[in-house]
Amino acid sequence: MRIAIVGAGLAGLSAAYELREHDVDVYEGSGRIGGKLYSVAFNDGPTDMGAEAFLARNAEAVEFFTELGLGDSLVAPSGLRPLLYVDDKLQALPTGGMMGIPSSAEKIAALVSAESARHIANEEPFEWTPGGDVSVGALVRQQYGADVVEHVVSALLGGVYSCTADDLGLRATIPGLARVLDEQAAQGSVTLSGAVKVLEQSRVSTPGKGAPFRAFRGGYAEVYEALAEKSGADIHLDSFISGISHRPGEGYVLKGAPADAPLYEGVVLATPAPTTARLMAGIAPQATEALREVKLASSAVVGFKFDSDVDPEGNELPQNTGILVATDQEDVHAKAFTLSSRKWPHLAERGGALVRASFGRFGDDALVRADEETLVDYALDDLAHITGFDGRAAGVSEIFTQRWFGGLPRYDEHHLETVSSVLGALADVPSIAVAGSWVNGVGVPAVIAQAREAARRLIGAK
Ligand SMILES: Cc1cc2nc3c(=O)[nH]c(=O)nc-3n(C[C@H](O)[C@H](O)[C@H](O)COP(=O)(O)OP(=O)(O)OC[C@H]3O[C@@H](n4cnc5c(N)ncnc54)[C@H](O)[C@@H]3O)c2cc1C
C-alpha cells in the first residue's frame, strides 16, 4: 500500500515504523525530524531541549524501545526528590497524592493556609455525576481551597501540560481519579480526599506501579533516528503540506509534495491539532470543525551548562532533581527548573552542571515571545533568587534557547468529547488516520501507542 504520513514527530515516525512493510513517504514541514523531541549537541554530548524522559510504568513502551535496539540506552534517574518554591521558600514536593492533590491535610499543611488544611481534613461530600467532567482547578478549589491549586496542583500539572489546573479537564488528565469519583457516586458519598486515598492504596497494593521515569543516554535523538532508519520510509524534509484532496478511484493528493509525488492509497496526519484540522478541511469538514476546538499551549526551555555546581561564594545547586514554582509566585518568571545533572547520573558524569529553565503556560505567550537575552537573564536571576546559586559567577559555558510555540495541546474538560467527535466524523472517510499528542495523551508512551494503533487500523490490521 502506498501511504503518506504528514509530520515526522514521534507520532509520524512511530506510524512509519509500524507501516515499514509498506511504501511510505513522510512529509515534514521543518528541516529536521523529531518534532518536540530534540536532542541538541552540547559540547559534552546530546542534551534534550524538548521531552527529556518518559514514564516507564507501562511495559509496552520499554518493550518497543528494546525492539528498536535501544534497551541498553535506557537510563534511570538518581532517585533524588524535587522541590517546590512556595511562599518564597523552597520546600519538599509532597509525596503521595495524585498530581499534587492530597488525600489528607498532613502532607500539604506546610504549603497551604491553615484554612485550606482544615477544609481538606473536614472535606464535605459533593455532587458528582458519573461520567461527568470538570476542570481540575475548579474541583480542587471548591473542595480544598485556591492555594492548593496555585501552590501545588497547577505547579505540577503545568510541568506536564504547560497549562494551569483550571485549563485541564479531570477525566482527560487524571482519568483514574475521575473513575474513582464515578464509583463513589454509585455507592453514595463522593469526596476528593476519599478518592485520592483509594488510588494511593491501589498503588501500595500493586508494588512496582510507582513512577519509574527513564531517559536515553544519548537523548531522544536515539529514538527518532532509530525510528526513521528502521521504518525504511522516504522522509522529505522542508516539505510543508498545506492541503489534501481526494480523487475518487485514484487516491489522495498532497498539496506541497513534489510535483512528481504519487497519489496515495492512505494518509496518516501526524501533525498538531490545528494543522490537522486545516489539512482535513477538503476531505472531512465535520472533523475539521470539531478539531478546531483543540487549542495549544506554548512554552520555552533554556538549557545551561555551568562550569561548576557550586558558585565562588560556596552556594551549591540543591541536591534535588528540580524545582517547580507555585503559580502565584509573582517575583519569579520561570515555571520550573530541571536540575538535569542532579536528576540523571549519566548527565552528572559530564562534570559541571546542566540545568533547564522552563517558561510559559497556556494563554500567556508573553514569556515565550521574550527575546533570548531576557529569557536567559530571567532564568539566571530566578535560579539565584530561589536557590542562592549564582550561575553567572559559577561560569556559563553553554546556553541553548528553544521555543515551543503550540508545543502541547490543551486537554480541557471538553477534550475527550472533542476527540471522540473528530474520530466519529473521520469514521466515514476512507483510509485517513490521525495520530499525535492531541488524540490520546501527550506522554511519549501514549503518543507511540496511539500512532501505532492508528497505523494498524489504516491498513486494516489488528
Ligand atoms: C517542552 C516539552 C517537554 C516535554 N517533555 C516530555 C517528557 O519529558 N516526557 C514525555 O513523555 N513527554 C514530554 N512532552 C510531550 C511529548 O514530547 C509530545 O507529546 C510528543 O513529542 C508529540 O509528538 P507528535 O508527533 O504528536 O507531535 P510533534 O512533535 O509536534 O510532531 C509534529 C510534526 O509535524 C510537523 N508538521 C506540522 N505541520 C506540518 C505540515 N503542515 N506539513 C508537514 N509537517 C508538519 C512538525 O514540524 C513536527 O515535526 C514534552 C513536550 C514539550 C513541548
**CATH number of the structural domain spanning residue 272:** 3.50.50.60
Compute how many other C-beta atoms are within 10 angstroms of the C-beta atom of residue 416: 17
180 and 148 assigned to the same domain: yes
Residue minimizing CA distance to atom 31 of ligand 1 = 9
- Rounded to whole angstroms, the Cα distance separating 383 from 243 reads 45
Average pLDDT over residues 203-208: 64
158 and 307 assigned to the same domain: no
Position 207 pLDDT exceeds 60? no
Residue minimizing CA distance to atom 51 of ligand 1 = 51
Compute how many other C-beta atoms are within 10 angstroms of the C-beta atom of residue 48: 25
- Ligand 1 atom having least distance to the Cα of 240: 42
CA of 366 to the centre of ligand 1 (A): 21
431 and 285 assigned to the same domain: yes
CATH value at residue 121: 1.10.3110.10
312 and 276 assigned to the same domain: no
Verify whether ligand 1 is closer than 6 Å to residue 35 (CB atom). yes
Total number of domains in the chain: 3
Average pLDDT over residues 116-123: 97
CATH value at residue 352: 3.90.660.20
pLDDT at 364: 85
41 domain-assigned? no
Q: Which amino acid does the sequence have at 185?
A: A
Residues in the chain: 462
Verify whether ligand 1 is closer than 6 Å to residue 15 (CB atom). no
Query: What is 34-88 written as a DSSP string?
Result: BTT--EEEETTEEEESS---EETTSHHHHHHHHHTT-GGGEE-------EEEETT
289 and 301 assigned to the same domain: no
Position 212 pLDDT exceeds 90? no
- Rounded to whole angstroms, the Cα distance separating 258 from 311 reads 54
Average pLDDT over residues 61-73: 97
83 domain-assigned? no
285 and 302 assigned to the same domain: no
Q: Which amino acid does the sequence have at 198?
A: V
Verify whether ligand 1 is closer than 6 Å to residue 30 (CB atom). yes
193 and 252 assigned to the same domain: no
Residue minimizing CA distance to atom 48 of ligand 1 = 35
pLDDT at 211: 57
CA of 443 to the centre of ligand 1 (A): 10
Q: Which of 154, 186, 205 is the last residue of a domain?
A: 205
Asked if 94 contacts 108 with a C-beta cutoff of 8 angstroms, the reply is yes
Pick from 68-72, 187-191, 205-209, 224-228: least confident: 205-209
Verify whether ligand 1 is closer than 6 Å to residue 451 (CB atom). no
306 band by pLDDT with thresholds 50, 70 and 90: very high
pLDDT at 283: 94
43 domain-assigned? no
Residue whose entry in the numeric block shows the C-alpha cell 473542595: 143
Position 138 pLDDT exceeds 50? yes
- Long-range CB contact pairs, 439-447, < 8 A, 24+: 442/160, 442/161, 442/408, 442/409, 442/411, 443/54, 443/55, 443/160, 444/10, 444/37, 444/51, 444/54, 444/55, 444/61, 445/54, 445/55, 445/56, 445/58, 445/60, 445/61, 447/10, 447/11, 447/14
32 band by pLDDT with thresholds 50, 70 and 90: very high
Pick from 25-34, 363-372, 402-411: least confident: 363-372
The domain in which residue 21 lies consists of 2-36+48-75+215-294+411-458
Q: What share of the chain has pLDDT > 90, as a percent?
A: 94
210 domain-assigned? no
CA of 390 to the centre of ligand 1 (A): 33
- Ligand 1 atom having least distance to the Cα of 241: 42
Q: Which of 205, 228, 260 is the last residue of a domain?
A: 205
Position 159 pLDDT exceeds 90? no
113 band by pLDDT with thresholds 50, 70 and 90: very high
111 domain-assigned? yes
pLDDT at 208: 53
Cell of 22: 509498506
71 and 220 assigned to the same domain: yes
- Parallel, antiparallel, or unpaired: how do β-strands 23-27 and 2-6 relate? parallel
**What does pLDDT average to over the chain?**
95
276 domain-assigned? yes
288 and 384 assigned to the same domain: no
Asked if 166 contacts 138 with a C-beta cutoff of 8 angstroms, the reply is yes
CA of 437 to the centre of ligand 1 (A): 7
398 and 313 assigned to the same domain: yes
Q: Which of 205, 225, 260 is the last residue of a domain?
A: 205
Verify whether ligand 1 is closer than 6 Å to residue 103 (CB atom). no
Position 342 pLDDT exceeds 60? yes
289 and 415 assigned to the same domain: yes
Residue minimizing CA distance to atom 4 of ligand 1 = 51
Phi and psi at 3, nearest 5°, equal -125, 140
Between CA 414 and CA 423, with CA 417 as vertex, the angle to 5 degrees is 135
By C-alpha distance, which of 455, 457, 458 is closest to 227? 455
User: What are the pLDDT digits (tens) for 398-424?
Assistant: 999 999 999 999 999 999 999 999 999
pLDDT at 462: 44
- Ligand 1 atom having least distance to the Cα of 436: 26
CA of 251 to the centre of ligand 1 (A): 28
Q: Which amino acid does the sequence have at 376?
A: V
pLDDT at 205: 66
Angle in degrees, 0-180, between the axes of helices 444-458 and 59-67, rounded to the nearest 10:
70
Helices (H), 91-191: 114-121, 136-143, 146-148, 154-161, 170-173, 175-187
CA of 35 to the centre of ligand 1 (A): 5
80 domain-assigned? no
Cell of 102: 492530597
- Rounded to whole angstroms, the Cα distance separating 165 from 412 reads 9
User: What are the pLDDT digits (tens) for 255-281?
Assistant: 999 999 999 999 999 999 999 999 999
CA of 447 to the centre of ligand 1 (A): 9
- Rounded to whole angstroms, the Cα distance separating 244 from 246 reads 7
405 and 415 assigned to the same domain: no
90 domain-assigned? no
Average pLDDT over residues 162-177: 96
Average pLDDT over residues 299-324: 98
Verify whether ligand 1 is closer than 6 Å to residue 288 (CB atom). no
